[in-house]
Chains A and B, each alone.
Chain A
Amino acid sequence: MRSLIDILELSVEELDELMNTADDIMAHPAKYSEVCHGKKLATLFFEPSTRTRLSFEAAMYELGGNVLGFSEAASSSASKGESVADTAKVVSCYADIIAMRHPKEGAPYVASINATVPVINGGDGGHNHPTQTLADLETIRHELGRLTDLTVGFCGDLKFGRTVHSLIAALSRYNGVKFVLISPVELRLPDYVRRDILVTNRVPYKETTDLEAVLPELDVLYMTRIQKERFFNEEEYLRLKDSYILTADKMKLAKEKMAVLHPLPRVNEISVAVDKDPRAAYFRQVLYAKYMRMALIMKLLDIAVEIDAKEEA
């Protein structure tokens, strides 16, 4: 019995296997529509995240399974003081697999060592959110056909964005990946990420404050939201925020074949006009996320389905 708490628990081979399954589900959804018949997914959301919960639930339904759970701590036994460990033991009696989101870092790990069924981390505070990273990887691979030899730009809040840190860690394991880190100085990638991931693995990267200048180089542009409260003062925020907004005009500078990703929800960092651009992949990213969660649920439940050989061109 295995769980998924941190994306780095999966080898590159396992990631490939999950992405192959996701591709096959997309191509042949009917083949998978009953593979989880009679199985139940418990979604234990100790903090609300409707988007992630719906994605897990849709994934399980599309595999023919059922879903039970709660979507905020107030409606769970946690409000009566039950520990995460006890909740995990109890829910293991009802469900075949658990997806857990919790505001405290490490809570899903505590659940995984106490549950008798697999636990998927659906986000624990600012710590891990491995299914988001699975979605990001599949988006890049599906849109561009590869995860090697890519120049990947990250733009916006690189300091607090956990999705950015996890994706950098995951992509650092592929050959020929270069990073371009685009952010205001105040929101630069933290030193420990730079040191522990980029320097340790000798991954080439550069830092800049100028999105337009580097846009022509990028194969992938991962946009993030810049939150006002991250700044010392309003003036600073207003001065900086516009330079990190992606517009249709700026997209003219980008390569013809590239992909724009965003973990969503977006506020105003990508103008709505960009949505029509075929390179805007952020809504398809939501779809890939669901397929990756389907592939993951199957893997953790040991459900194997023969994948059709890829039709080579």
Chain B
Amino acid sequence: MKIDSIKDGIVLDHIKAGRGMLIYQLLHLEELDCSVAILKNVPSKKMGKKDIIKIGDADLQLDFNAIGYVDPDITVNVIRNDVCVEKKHVALPEELENVIKCKNPRCITTTEQELPHIFRLADRHEGIYRCIYCDTKASRHL
């Protein structure tokens, strides 16, 4: 299968195979007017197979924290005039705002809907996040 290479845009590369759609939803890419392509199960030397997302807008502000949370191994390439001008490695972010919701029914966020759902990284090694209000753990197994 052949997909046109991108002239101006953002390429999310090295997405764990099968997670492309999840990233698409988490970044709300369905709301964009520009072209968006999800490539699934692309052969990769490093990973065996991987997913790739191509977005036809180089100036788009992406929530890198959300990307890092779902898959800290993703690389973000910004392409302008066929040249990759920026290559970013995302990592597990220190803080997540409105990426995941607290599932504790006793948490203050359940009664005060205006409050942002904020989670902080409690253990980088284990990838554990905790709600800043009630300390409930969030599991990264989405």
Binding site for B on A (CB under 8 A): 83-85, 102-107, 109-110, 124-127
Asked if B131 is at the interface of the complex by the 8 Å CB criterion, the answer is: yes
Asked if B22 is at the interface of the complex by the 8 Å CB criterion, the answer is: no
User: What 4 new A-B contacts, CB under 8 Å, besides A104-B111, A110-B112, A127-B135?
Assistant: A83-B114, A84-B108, A102-B108, A105-B135
A104 and B106 contact, CB distance less than 8 A: yes
A127 and B134 contact, CB distance less than 8 A: yes
A105 CB contact (under 8 Å) in B114, B115, B133? B133
B39 to chain A, nearest CB (A): 40
**Looking at chain B's contact residues, is the secondary structure mostly helix, strand, loop, or mixed?**
loop
A125 and B106 contact, CB distance less than 8 A: yes
Residues of A within 8 A of B131 (CB): 106
Considering only residues 91-142 of chain B, those with a C-beta below 8 Å from chain A are 104, 106-112, 114-115, 131-135
Binding site for A on B (CB under 8 A): 104, 106-112, 114-115, 131-135
For the complex, give the distance between the alpha carbons of A174 and B59 in Å.
54
A230 to chain B, nearest CB (A): 17
Q: How many A-B residue pairs have CB under 8 A?
A: 44
A105 and B112 contact, CB distance less than 8 A: no
Residues of B within 8 A of A106 (CB): 107-109, 131-134
For the complex, give the distance between the alpha carbons of A126 and B107 in Å.
10
Residues of B within 8 A of A107 (CB): 108, 133
B133 CB contact (under 8 Å) in A83, A103, A109, A126? A109
List 22 A-B pairs, Cβ < 8 Å. Answer: A83-B112, A83-B114, A84-B112, A85-B114, A85-B115, A102-B108, A104-B107, A104-B108, A104-B111, A105-B106, A105-B108, A105-B133, A105-B135, A106-B107, A106-B108, A106-B109, A106-B131, A110-B115, A125-B106, A125-B134, A127-B134, A127-B135
Residues of B within 8 A of A124 (CB): 108
Closest to B136 in A: A105
B96 to chain A, nearest CB (A): 16
A110 with B108, Cβ < 8 A, contacts A105-B133, A105-B134 known:
yes
A104 CB contact (under 8 Å) in B110, B114, B132, B135? B110
Closest to B113 in A: A83
A126 and B106 contact, CB distance less than 8 A: yes
Residues of A within 8 A of B115 (CB): 85, 110
B137 to chain A, nearest CB (A): 8
A125 to chain B, nearest CB (A): 5
A49 to chain B, nearest CB (A): 16
Residues of A within 8 A of B133 (CB): 105-107, 109-110
Closest to B137 in A: A192
Closest to A127 in B: B134
For the complex, give the distance between the alpha carbons of A124 and B104 in Å.
13
Residues of B within 8 A of A104 (CB): 106-108, 110-111
For the complex, give the distance between the alpha carbons of A126 and B114 in Å.
23
For the complex, give the distance between the alpha carbons of A125 and B111 in Å.
13
For the complex, give the distance between the alpha carbons of A109 and B135 in Å.
11
Residues of B within 8 A of A126 (CB): 106
Residues of B within 8 A of A103 (CB): 106
For the complex, give the distance between the alpha carbons of A104 and B106 in Å.
5
A213 to chain B, nearest CB (A): 34
B135 to chain A, nearest CB (A): 7
Q: Identify the interface centre among A83, A104, A109: most chain B CB within 10 Å of its CB.
A: A104
Closest to A111 in B: B108
For the complex, give the distance between the alpha carbons of A106 and B132 in Å.
8
For the complex, give the distance between the alpha carbons of A104 and B107 in Å.
6
B74 to chain A, nearest CB (A): 30
For the complex, give the distance between the alpha carbons of A103 and B134 in Å.
12
B41 to chain A, nearest CB (A): 37
For the complex, give the distance between the alpha carbons of A151 and B115 in Å.
43
B138 to chain A, nearest CB (A): 14
For the complex, give the distance between the alpha carbons of A106 and B134 in Å.
5
B132 and A105 contact, CB distance less than 8 A: no
A122 to chain B, nearest CB (A): 15
Residues of A within 8 A of B110 (CB): 104
For the complex, give the distance between the alpha carbons of A49 and B93 in Å.
39
B129 to chain A, nearest CB (A): 14
For the complex, give the distance between the alpha carbons of A126 and B106 in Å.
9
Residues of B within 8 A of A109 (CB): 108, 132-133
